[in-house]
Structure formats: C-alpha cells, structure tokens
Amino acid sequence: MKTPLPEKARLLERLKQGNFNVPDFIYVPAIDFEKKKFETLNAFLKKHQESFKVLARSVHPQEEHFKGGTFESLETYGDLGGIQYARKQMIKSVASIKKLSIIRQQKFNHAPAVDPDEMGVIVMPFIDGSSVMAKMIGGHWEFGYCRDRLHKVQQDPYITRTPHDQKLLQISDDIQTHLGFACEIEYVISADNEIHTVQAKDISHIEMLEPAESKRSIKLDGIFRIRKRRNYRERMVYVMDNTAFYTSVIGKCEDMILGSEGPAIGIKDILDVIKTYEATLEDFALKHQRFGVIKLTTDVVRELYPIANHYLDDVPDLQKQLSNALHNNRYKIDYFLSEADTFITKDRIRIDLCGHDAYGINTVRTPVWCAYWNLDRHEKIVNEFKRLGFKTGDTIGIDIDPEEKPRIYRL
C-alpha cells in the first residue's frame, strides 16, 4: 500500500497540478535516504545544474501537527552531499535547537511523538527574492513581508492588506479556492517580480479569536509588535536576572579557590549552579504554554561573564569544564527566550524573526510583543520592578495607551 504524502509535499503537488507557479521540486522520503536510493534526486539536481544553491525544506510525516517553522529548512549546495548535510541538520535540530519547542507543543497542543529519522526533504531550486506569507483574516487577505534578499538596506517585517502587486490577491484567492480550505500560503518574489508559490498549509482547524487593571504598575516607553490587533495582554512571567546568576557562579568559584565554612566546594558544585538555572528555565517553559520574560539584566553582565568564564584559569582542566558549561548555558537561555512571546526589557531588543515567527498563523492570537524602557531610565525602572516585588511566576498585564506607551501591572 502506497504511503500518503506528507501535507507539505501533497499540497505543493496539488498546486503544481493546478498550474500555479510552483518551482520545480522533488520530494525525497526518509526511506530513500535510508536505502541510498538517489537516482531520481541526482537526475533532478543534474537538471538544475545552473542552481549553485538549492532550498531543502523539511518534510516530516508529523509536521502538519506542529506550528510553522518548528522544523528546519535550509539553503545548501545543489549536490547530493549538500542535501544529505541539510537533512542531517534538520534531524539534529529536533534534538537540540527545536527540542524545547517540540516538547511544549506536545504538552500544550497534543502534538504527536516525532521520530527524527523519518525526516524527508523537499528540494527545489533556490530563488533569490523576498518572502511573503498570505492568509485570510476576518474576511480580508493579509500579507506579511520579510527576508528581502534583494536589497542591501533591510526593513523590519510588516503586515499589510495591500500587497506590492495586486496579482497576489487574485492568486491567493485562486489557491484557496483550488485547495478548498483556509490556507496559509508562502511566496517568494524574485528580482523580476515573478511570484513563486513555494508552500501552502491547511489552517482550517486553527481557531482565531479576537480584565481588570492593578494599581501596581510601571509605565514604559514603547512597544514593538508587528500585529496591532489588541492593546492588552496578560502573561505569566519569568524574571531573568543574569547579574545574580553570574554573581552566584563567581561566588562558588571563590569558595572553591579561597575556601569557605562548611563542606569543601568542588567543580561539581559550581556546575550544579548552572544546571539548576537551566532546569528552572526548562521547567518554567514546560509549565506555561504562553509566557513573558522580564529582563532585568544590567551592563554589568558583560563584565561578569568573562570573569566567571576565566575565574579558574589557574586550573585548566576545571576551567575548561566551567567554560563549556557557561558557553552552552547561553544557548539554553536563547532557546528559552525563543519560546516566549512577550519581552519586557531595556530598549527595543532585536529579535531574529523568521516568517512564521513574525506573521505565521500562530501569531494571529499570540504575536510577539516587546515592551521596553529607554536606556537612560534603566536603573530607575529596574529598581521600580524590584520595589514592587515583580518575581517569577507573577501574572502581569500589559496595557497599551493610544500613544503606544505600555503600562505593566501585577495582577
């Protein structure tokens, strides 16, 4: 019995059969990689020798049950080695970069178990251009623009109901009619303004929906958000104070080198401080489907990190263990932050948003917000957060006034 195609490959094939402008592509299932059956793939790559690069898109059998962007898609060399490398990176990311995201979706959204070795790949010629994502919201098409590869000067992702080319409206209507369900469509607009349809996703099963204020509040200076449909949000927050974390690590190092009262301190005790912090982050992320982060970090962290990293330089073997742990810790923090949808921090932080993060279907109800205060008020605001007793586990409200100034409340 023939195995049905995963959604990404199946819908692309339907669009190709419907004479939409879909780039030439090939779907390579996991079994072909396992049995090294590359005759069809090699023929496809030979056909597109003019493409120095190709785009390898993840095609996991369970991918349709996860939010867009959960699995990797990569630019790679247009040869067999490049495709094999890209697939290995996709598989690796399931157990590393994307691990926390996958576990959270399994916990909160009842997503299925994932066997990384079942990862298939769609290969298509790489098209140099700008990315556009389209979907119908409230009876109107909206178009999200990002990743413009054609211009030296870049702009932030943005959403509009008026696309740069009115043909996008008709094409989107035609695609949704052809498929017969609400869908999210990805396009690449090449330098000659040709519209290429590179992906469609069934979003018909995803629900899209359109309290009281506390006197304990702090008024901040600005809000960054791509989607501006709501002016109020509530979130459970994690208060991140990495100054205290690094100070704790340095304190343990001092106790080990200089001695302290009580049991002797060893490298295991120092590493346990780091492991405990990382476990706290993961535990918080797995308890709360949607959460925010209040970053109280000061510029002192830039000085404390190298101090902690090199405190044990006189004991090279131990220093290497500590350095590796602190290096990996920064990635663990980044993975944690990438799962938050609300940031409260000094200045407007720069978030590396891909199309799905910026305006994918999952952002309709939970777009990324960044409420910030100006740098010249940093110490004052941090002290105010501490005075009011904001702590990890608090539920906060963010209310945005008509002048786009957010006020933060403890509920």
Question: pLDDT tens-digit profile of 2-12?
Answer: 668 999 999 99
Mean pLDDT of 101-119: 96
Min mean pLDDT across 46-55, 152-161, 334-343, 371-380 is at 152-161
pLDDT of residue 411: 85
Instruction: Report the range of poorest mean pLDDT among 152-156, 166-170, 205-209.
Output: 152-156
Place 278 in a pLDDT band, splitting at 50, 70 and 90: very high
3-state per-residue secondary structure call for the chain: CCCCCCHHHHHHHHHHHCCCCCCCCEEECHHHHHHCCCHHHHHHHHHCCCCCEEEEEEECCCHHHCCCCCCCEEEEECCHHHHHHHHHHHHHHHCCCCHHHHHHHHHHCCCCCCCHHHCEEEEEECCCEEEEEEEEECCEEEEEEECCCCCCCCCCCEEECCCCCCHHHHHHHHHHHHHCCCEEEEEEEECCCCEEEEEEEECCCCCCCCCCCCCCEEECCEEEECCCCCCEEEEEEEEECHHHHHHHHHHHHHHHHHCCCCCCCCHHHHHHHHHHHHHHHHHHHHHCCCEEEEECCCCHHHHHHHHHHHCCCCCHHHHHHHHHHHHHHHHHHHHHHHHCCEEEEECCCCCCCCHHHHHCHHHCCCCCEEEEECHHHHHHHHHHHHHCCCCCCCEEEEEECCCCCEEEEEC
High-pLDDT (> 70) share of the chain, %: 91
Q: Where are the domains of the chain?
A: 10-23+127-206, 26-126, 217-410
Asked whether the predicted pLDDT for residue 1 surpasses 70, the reply is no
Residue 138's pLDDT is 77
Is residue 357 very low, low, confident or very high in pLDDT (cuts 50, 70, 90)?
Answer: low
State the average pLDDT over residues 161-165.
90
Q: What is the pLDDT of residue 164?
A: 87
**pLDDT for residue 349:** 64
How confident is the model at residue 225, as a pLDDT? 84
Q: Select the CATH number that applies to the domain covering 10-23+127-206 from these four: 3.30.470.20, 3.40.50.12160, 1.10.260.40, 3.50.50.60.
A: 3.30.470.20
Q: Is the pLDDT of residue 104 over 80?
A: yes
Q: In which band, very low, low, confident or very high, does the pLDDT at 351 lie, cut at 50, 70 and 90?
A: low
What is the per-residue pLDDT for 350?
64
pLDDT digits (tens, 9 = 90+) for 208-229: 654 334 456 888 999 988 778 7
